[in-house]
Chain A
Amino acid sequence: MSTFDYAPALESTAIVSIAERYGLFINGKFVAPKSGKYFPTINPATEKVLAKIASANSADVDLAVAAARAAYVKVWSKMPAAERGKYLFRIARIIQERSREFAVLESLDNGKPIRESRDTDIPLAAAHFFYHAGWADKLQYSGNGASPKPLGVVGQIIPWNFPMLMLAWKVAPALATGNTVVLKPAETTSLTALLFAEVCQQAGLPEGVVNIITGAGGTGALLVNHPGIDKVAFTGSTEVGKLIATSIAGSKKSATLELGGKAANIIYDDAAIDEAVEGIVNGIFFNQGHVCCAGSRLLVQENVHEEVLAKLKVRMGHIRLGNPLDKNTDIGAINSAAQLAKIKELSAAGDSEGAERWSAPCELPSQGFWFPPTIFTGVSQTHRIAREEIFGPVLSLLTFRTPQEAVEKANNTPYGLSAGIWTDKGSKILWTASKLRAGVIWANTFNKFDPASPFGGYKESGWGREGGRHGLSAYLKASN
């Protein structure tokens, strides 16, 4: 060996045991679906089937909602808040204890690099439970009046990009505020949610407080439309979010929606360029770009765009694509064939609309779903790749001349989830941040998350916030 090619460093899968098939988690037990139907979940890096997952039908949804209602009425709403909090602390601890197991399972089912599931997804998931546990007996200080009340039974639908983390974002605040939950994970990534069901059992969480039903979009629609739920919490595409908003119109159900984005990442000419390049890479290539708040529109001040692009290409050349379980992998597998097809379709639109494509030179494995880290230059605001959410490792580079132009272009989208600002000038950060119509602004950093920090978007990026004091309002009836 004459060069420093890192030898394969595979995380062992011995720590996880995956059952041949999984039932639904209803009222504290795994039960066979009334539907009698199962569907396969695959490892997107190999296309091999990992397990069979139950497909919940309306009878199953009825059971889950009834279990959640009974638990709400009989147990959870009557429990002293401090005791409720202690269950969340227990759950946080068990997730920490079993974190490697969760991480490996997540990487197997989702395709994300083990470095990210191990260092980001799972620790943050545990942190979310720990953070919200402490809120349970302090809700009177949450800005929702002197005696805020839970809503009741919450239907929660989560996406496939951060399966366990999104579960934590949903379940932790719902339980802390005294609600009970019926949660549906995405059909391609159910396994960590089902492992979480085991955590609930280990924690001795009262039966029915958390129910997990698996299935595709149809199961989600049954949950949303179920008359027995009081609230819908959804993270996913803007398209589905709008369907949900439409179907609950005129009902008493409230909703929080955490939807798509097309974030601008603005690089001013006085930025710390090397760290900005790092932020660009983290902004779009983290989690294969399967991130609603990804910095997918790179807005670079024209007088430095050549330097930034040159450095970016060098940096992209160091990105390691491959086996998600290799500890040195930076980019794993695209989660599904359907998502890969969407990324390819939009990238092809970039080509045909005249943008110039450059992909980092990396070998794609023959099995599984893969897409190389890619940047389009010569992109204008009218291109589809500058407007539509690609949800993959594809970056569009646009230029601007003045701060005003940067802000106008950044805001020129129906979305408003996140944005990035890179400059060494404090006053310019605050000016830009105040002008950007987005819910999360990262200045001189990108893609940072914390349970104490509210997350959520303006405009078509959704309704409401998750995390922090502000996220609690979504699960409480305020008292005035």
Chain B
Amino acid sequence: MIIDSSEGSLKAFLGTLPTVDEVGVQGRAAMLATRSVKTTSKAWAIDMAISMIDLTTLEGADTPGKVRAICAKAVRPDAMDLSVPSVGAVCVYNDMVRTARSALDQIGGSSIPVAAVATAFPSGRASFAVKAQDTLDAINAGAGEIDMVIDRGAFLSGRYSEVFDEIVKIKELCGNKAHLKVILETGELVTLDNVRKASYLAMLAGADFIKTSTGKVVPAATAPVVLVMLEAVRDFYSMTKTRIGVKPAGGIRTTKDAIKQLVLVNEIAGPEWLNPQLFRIGASALLNDLLLQRMKMRDGYYASPSYVTMD
């Protein structure tokens, strides 16, 4: 064990982490953004990106109909082209988990997990009892993945053990029924130093994935943030031989955005992370853009949004 869960040992460990130079990270991210991914590697990247999507709807206006529709899309993103892979997961609020699970099961998507946002998503401002119940509701409804939020207030006021303990307890509730993704909400942590610290805090507490954002705060999954999180999982692996996954979410809307994410994964964490078990992209509109680009590559001419489904 690298640490015990005491405040002192957490602070001491986080203090040993090297700092992050923001300008240096921006420079590295900008350089990697110039990678030109064409032809065969673009085709590969598009399918990989589709299979990594956590197809998401997190609206107050979500209805069973809306959720069933995205489930259909998750299983068969392009009804006219069955070579298109299914997405990585469907991501919903916990009251929609049962609807999503049964919809997926009915249409041949039983292998696609339902991810539920939990722990008083997106703000995380509730008692732990509420957060725990939130989580349990989702698991009991059939969620295979829990996307919890950390207590950013506790983190920013330096109460790291509170953040840590909550993750540990939610992880216990997940048990072997659900994978745990820990949302750092990096837009509220602001600095890359905080992103690195929070990443380690989550990994040490038992996260299976670290996730950038709720999608409700801007900025979300910026390249520098994802880069720092990818460095964290890479270095955590060299310390512990455990590979933790990364999920950027928020603001990734185009094929170009998604391919830039895959380049980051490839050159920062390494190709071992280039699979849906270790990298997911939280998105909704992205899927259609990937499908349009896929059509262009398949057909050789530019596609129209009229030929992809609107759900």
Contact = CB atoms under 8 A, between A and B. Distances in A.
A–B direct contact (CB < 8 Å): yes
Interface of A: 1, 3-9, 115, 119, 270-275, 278-279, 310, 318, 327-328, 424, 444-445
Contacts of B44: 1, 4
A328 B262 contact: no
A275 B20 contact: yes
B24 interface: yes
Contact of B36 (A328, A424, A444): A328
B40 A4 contact: no
A7 B42 contact: yes
B87 interface: no
B36 A1 contact: no
Q: Which among A119, A270, A278 has the greatest number of chain B C-beta atoms within 10 A?
A: A278
Contacts of B18: 270-274, 424
Interface in B1-43: 18-21, 23-25, 27-28, 31, 34-42
A327 B36 contact: yes
The 3 A-B pairs at the shortest CB distance, nearest first, are namely A275-B24, A9-B36, A327-B36
Contacts of B108: none
Interface of B: 18-21, 23-25, 27-28, 31, 34-42, 44-45, 48, 231, 238, 262-263, 266-267, 271, 274
Contacts of A5: 41
Contacts of A6: 35-38, 41
Contacts of A271: 18
Dominant secondary structure of chain A at its interface with chain B: loop
19 contacts: A4-B41, A4-B44, A4-B262, A5-B41, A6-B35, A6-B36, A272-B19, A274-B18, A274-B24, A274-B25, A275-B20, A275-B21, A275-B28, A278-B24, A278-B27, A310-B238, A327-B36, A444-B24, A445-B27
Contacts of A3: 271, 274
Given A1-B44, A271-B18, 14 more contacts: A4-B45, A6-B35, A6-B37, A7-B41, A7-B42, A9-B36, A9-B37, A119-B34, A274-B231, A328-B36, A444-B21, A444-B23, A444-B24, A445-B27
A107 B267 CA distance: 24
Nearest to B232: A274
Contact of A272 (B24, B36, B38): B24
A466 to B, nearest CB: 24
B241 to A, nearest CB: 15
A327 B39 CA distance: 14
Nearest to B23: A445
A4 B271 contact: yes
Contacts of A279: 24
A320 B22 CA distance: 24
A273 B228 CA distance: 12
A270 B238 CA distance: 20
A442 to B, nearest CB: 11
A424 B271 CA distance: 31
Contacts of A270: 18-19
B28 to A, nearest CB: 5
Contacts of A1: 40-41, 44
Contacts of B266: 4
A6 B38 CA distance: 7
Contacts of B274: 3-4
B36 A275 contact: no
Contacts of B19: 270, 272, 424
Contacts of A445: 23-24, 27
Given A1-B44, A318-B267, A7 B24 contact: no
A216 B34 CA distance: 36
Nearest to B31: A115
B8 to A, nearest CB: 21
B38 A275 contact: no
A4 B44 CA distance: 8
Nearest to A271: B18
A257 to B, nearest CB: 31
Contact of B25 (A4, A8, A9, A275): A275
Contact of A327 (B20, B27, B34): B34
B271 to A, nearest CB: 5
Q: Which among B24, B31, B231, B263 has the greatest number of chain A C-beta atoms within 10 A?
A: B24
A393 B41 CA distance: 28
Contacts of A318: 267
B38 A9 contact: yes
Contacts of B37: 6-7, 9
B18 to A, nearest CB: 4
A7 B40 contact: yes
A424 B18 CA distance: 9
B21 A272 contact: yes
Contacts of B35: 6, 327-328
B34 A7 contact: no
Contacts of B40: 1, 7
Nearest to B262: A4
Nearest to B45: A4
A362 B128 CA distance: 52
Contacts of A275: 20-21, 24-25, 28
A275 to B, nearest CB: 3
A405 B38 CA distance: 49
Contacts of B31: 115
Contacts of A327: 34-36
Contacts of B36: 6, 9, 327-328
Nearest to A327: B36
B24 A115 contact: no
Contacts of A115: 31, 34
Contact of A274 (B20, B262, B271): B20
Contacts of A273: 18
A270 B17 CA distance: 10
Q: Which among B19, B42, B45, B48 has the greatest number of chain A C-beta atoms within 10 A?
A: B19
B123 to A, nearest CB: 31
A318 B227 CA distance: 15
A95 B17 CA distance: 45
Contacts of B267: 318
Contacts of A278: 24, 27-28
Contacts of B21: 272, 275, 444
A215 B21 CA distance: 45
Nearest to A307: B18
A119 B38 CA distance: 20
Given A278-B28, A444-B21, A445-B24, A7 B271 contact: no
Nearest to B228: A274
A7 B37 CA distance: 7
A445 B24 CA distance: 7
B265 to A, nearest CB: 8
A4 B36 CA distance: 12
